Structures are given as C-alpha cells and as structure tokens.
Amino acid sequence: MTDSSTPGAAERLLDTAARLFYARGVSNVGINEIIARAGVARMTLYHHFPSKDALVKAVLEARRAERAAWLARADELASTPRGRMLAVFDLLESWVQTPDFRGCPLVAASFELGGQFNPAIPYARDHITAVREFFAERAEQAGLPANVAAQLQLLLEGATVTALVQGSAAAATEARAAAAAVLGMPQGGS
Amino acid sequence: MTDSSTPGAAERLLDTAARLFYARGVSNVGINEIIARAGVARMTLYHHFPSKDALVKAVLEARRAERAAWLARADELASTPRGRMLAVFDLLESWVQTPDFRGCPLVAASFELGGQFNPAIPYARDHITAVREFFAERAEQAGLPANVAAQLQLLLEGATVTALVQGSAAAATEARAAAAAVLGMPQGGS
DNA sequence: GCTTGTATGTACCGGTCTGTATAATCTGGC
DNA sequence: GCCAGATTATACAGACCGGTACATACAAGC
C-alpha cells in the first residue's frame, strides 16, 4: 500500500526528474543521476516507470497540470476580466525572476526532444490552447474583440522566451505594458 | 590549397551539421552520422574542428549570420519604415510554412544545450538584440514611440514559438495583424 | 622527384547510456 | 509466523558516444 504521508518513491522520482530535466535538459540527465538524487534504487524506478520515455511522459503530464494551475492563479489576483488577463503578466514577471527560471518547461522539452514524433509537442500545444481559451473567455466577458486573446498569448510566449535568452525580467515588464495597451488600460496599474 | 569551386569538406560538414542539429537537436546527432551524411572521413572533421563543441559553435555562428541576413531581407520588400517593419512578419509567415521549420535555431539550441554556461545563449541574445535594433531604428524614422520595438520583437518571437508548437502558420498571421495594429496600419495590406 | 598539406579508412580506447538479471532485505496484512 | 509485494544492492549486457592512433593515398608547388 502506498503511503501518502511520506513522499513515496514514485512521487520523489517524478519531482527529482522534473527538476533535473528542467534545469539541464532531458537528454543531458541520465537515469543514474535521477535515482541517486532521489535516493531510490535503480529497480524501483523501473518498477514504477517501464522506461525513461515513460518517466519523461509522466513528467510532462505533471508539468502540464502545473502550468494550468499557474494560469488559474491569475483569477485570484484580480476581480475584473481585464484585471485577470493583466494579472497573468504579473505572474510572468514574478516567474522569470525565479533563480532557476529556464522558460516554459513544455516549450523547452518540445525543443530538446527532436525527431519525427516529438512527445512533448502535444503537451505544449495543449498548454498554449489553454492559455488562449483563458484569454478568450475573459476577453468576451470584457466585450473585447476575439483577436486580443491571440495577441496576449503571443506576447506572453514571446516574453517568456525573450526573458530566458536575455537573462532579464525586462521582457516580462514590456509584455505587461503591451498587454495593458491591448486591453485599453493606459496605465495598467502596478 | 582549398578549392572554392567544389563545396569543400569543411563547408559540407558545416551545412550537414547545421541541418541535422536543427532537425533533431545537437545532443541527438552524433559525429558518426554527420560524417556519414557529409561523405567525409572522421579524421577530416577533426582536422577542421578540434571537437564537437567547436563544430557546434561554428554552426551557431553561421546560423547567427543567416538570421541577420533573413532580417535584412525585409528592407527589400518595402520602402517605408512602417512597411519594412511589417515585412518582417511577411517573412515569418513564409518561414513557418517551410516543411522543415523547427523554430528559431538559436533559440532551439539555447533550450537544448543546458548547463551552467550555455554556449548558445550569447548567439540567441545577439540575434534578439539585432531584431530590436532593426525595429527601433525604423520606429524612430517613422516617428513611433520607442516601446513599439520591444512589442514587435515579443510578437515575432512569440509567433515563432507558437507556430512551431501548433504546427500551423496561423500564429504568424495573427502576429502580422497585431503588428499592423501596433504600427497604426488598420488594414496592414496583404 | 620530393615535400607538404589535406583527405581517407580502420581500428581502437575509455566512458556513459538505458535497461536487465539476480538475489537479498524490509514491511505490512492476515 | 508467514507470505506477498515493494525496495534495495550489485553486477552486467549491449549499444553508442567523442576522440585518438596509425598507416595510407592523393594532389599541388618548387
């Protein structure tokens, strides 16, 4: 019986793998390092996950849920549709300043895992779709034209990548200002 | 004596490596495959490039120049500053429809090559800076506020990533429309 | 003709990778 | 007490990796 009070081997493996994959890339992290850092025996990993690919897929699934929860937090930061859309960019500003920020983990995995059938693309696509739906619903509530959802998503994704490459939070701030302009909020608050 | 009429081993290695790295990722392509596809002996590669890292760096350098040339082509597509800024998004629309489009190669390399000192980041940063300068110069010529340069760069980068993940050119078209709005060109031409 | 630089082919080294085999150990339920 | 399942430890297989060693071939310049 799996004990839910202690972390549990599977969960600890998942967290450790997610952290290492995000920090250094899926291809650059081996099974040996994952089990060593998780404090778990080799066979235990292969007991819970039949292969490294399966572990990667499980990590992507967890990341997908994590990003959805991140997006949902914007609703708690503001009460109006416009404010909630802008709050996403506040979350971005905080996120890019995290010490171990390395861009969107789903997009990052989509880039590293090349090949014909990239297992990360569907997860990244789902996330982008979710972002667009988030913006689209609230844009409609605010009586804004439908194309603002796409604009905001493009700004968000562009700022995420640019912040990583520039190693600076400036892009997130610029994206917030641009979003405020798109939303017709001249000042945009602070 | 290096013969410039025939491709030359070094150039062929560079092209082959660039293509393979872009299609499947640096870590997922070995030396053996590069020399096999380039039709070059193993020792010839190590004669021109002391290590795989050096080859990767040379490829990144070539990609950087390639992207700069791509950006410069926008000036030939229009005569006004505003038109030239918008033309960049026309180029993007064409690019993302290329069969082997895989996003910006410099950004892609920045994601795959993890680690503390990522050799691709400086190249990607230079490129983003060049894009911003391109927009900034022409925005000033057009009498537009300085922050439109950042907005357009964020839209461009966001659309590049989104088009890759979505496997569609729609994001590029949306970015073009958003750029036209930022530039105060309601219709944006076609 | 000889030298020099470039390219070739092949075999090999040490290391790392994913995944498997095998046997010992711990733990909770009945 | 006993059994079943989860976990551990270790050793190993098979493949691939980047990089080197060595001997050879070819072409051009003097």
pLDDT digits (tens, 9 = 90+) for A83-133: 999 999 999 999 999 999 999 999 999 999 976 789 999 999 999 999 999
Instruction: Find chain B residues with C-beta within 8 A of A24's C-beta.
Output: 114-115
pLDDT digits (tens, 9 = 90+) for A85-94: 999 999 999 9
Number of cross-chain residue pairs from A and B with Cβ atoms under 8 Å apart: 120
How far apart CA A121 and CA A123 sit, in angstroms, is 5
- Cα separations (Å) of A133 from A72, A91, A176, A180? 12, 17, 19, 18
A151 min Cα distance to partner chain B (Å) = 6
pLDDT digits (tens, 9 = 90+) for B22-45: 999 999 999 999 999 999 999 999
Q: What is the CA radius of gyration of chain A?
A: 19
The answer to whether the beta carbons of residues A105 and A120 sit under 8 Å apart is no
With b for 16 or more beta-carbon neighbours within 10 A and e for fewer, the B53-63 pattern comes to eebbebbbebb
Residue B75 has pLDDT above 50, yes or no: yes
Q: Quick one: pLDDT at residue A187?
A: 60
- DSSP secondary structure letters along B118-181: -TTHHHHHHHHHHHHHHHHHHHHHTT--THHHHHHHHHHHHHHHHHHHHTSSHHHHHHHHHHHH
Residue A61 has pLDDT above 70, yes or no: yes
pLDDT digits (tens, 9 = 90+) for B102-156: 999 999 999 999 766 899 999 999 999 999 999 999 999 999 999 999 999 999 9
For residue A43, say whether its CB is under 7 Å from any atom of strand D.
yes
With b for 16 or more beta-carbon neighbours within 10 A and e for fewer, the A82-114 pattern comes to bbbbbbbbbbbbebbeeeebbbbbbbbbbbbbb
Q: The whole model's pTM is what? A: 0.93
CB contact under 8 A, B178 and A147: yes
Of A111, A66, A94, A62, whose CA–CA distance to A159 is shortest?
A94
How far apart CA A170 and CA A92 sit, in angstroms, is 11
CB contact under 8 A, B114 and A23: yes
B61 CA vs C19 C1’ separation (Å): 38
Q: Quick one: pLDDT at residue B171?
A: 98
CB contact under 8 A, A24 and B115: yes
Q: Which residue is the nearest neighbor of C21, CA to C1'?
A: A43
- A59: Cβ–Cβ under 8 A, 6 or more apart, which residues? A14, A17, A18, A21
Q: What is the mean pLDDT of chain B?
A: 92
Sign of CA dihedral B117, A176, A173, A96: negative
The encoded tokens of residue A83 equal 């404010």
Q: How far is CA B57 from the centre of its chain?
A: 15
Q: How confident is the model at residue A137 (pLDDT cuts 50, 70, 90)?
A: very high
The footprint of strand C (CB < 7 Å) covers A 1, 29-33, 42-43, 46, 50-53; B 2, 8-10, 39-44, 47-48
How far apart CA A122 and CA A127 sit, in angstroms, is 9
Sign of CA dihedral A98, A100, A103, A105: negative
Residue A5 has pLDDT above 80, yes or no: no
Q: How confident is the model at residue A24 (pLDDT cuts 50, 70, 90)?
A: very high
CB contact under 8 A, B125 and A165: yes
